[in-house]
Amino acid sequence: MKKVQGYDSFQRMNYLYQISKYIVDKNPALSSYYGNLIVNVAKKNVLKIHPEIKRQICKKCKCMLVHKTSASMKIKNKNKSKIIEWTCHTCGMKKILPTYKDRDNTVWLERPEAVVEIIS
């Protein structure tokens, strides 16, 4: 079986992400702790966090952002385009994500052409 570089770390990050998200409504501080671990594992092994996951982590306290639980989400108008504003309930940090009317709201990594090879 072919192995990807950082395979174990990706598995670990996936596991940490799941607990972090699971625990967030019960204990946001613990969620931040696991969020921090995800970021540290990625940094240490020079790996990229999947954008879908990265969007859900608070920039400041690394808590999982879940609407109406640990954060609130608002859609606002800015310069004729819409933005999504996340406010973290744990630390109060605001995170702004752009939306695109004509383009699909995905980063390059999530598009089909970004997949070079699937290794099972």
Residues that bind Zn ion (CB under 5 A): 58, 60-61, 63, 88, 90-91, 93
Of 45 and 87, the one with the shorter C-beta distance to Zn ion is: 87
Q: Tokens at residue 78, please?
A: 């800015």
Of 38 and 88, the one with the shorter C-beta distance to Zn ion is: 88
Cβ atoms of 25 and 66 closer than 8 Å: yes
Of 56 and 90, the one with the shorter C-beta distance to Zn ion is: 90
Nearest distance from C-beta of residue 20 to Zn ion, angstroms: 13
- Identify the three-state secondary structure at position 2: coil
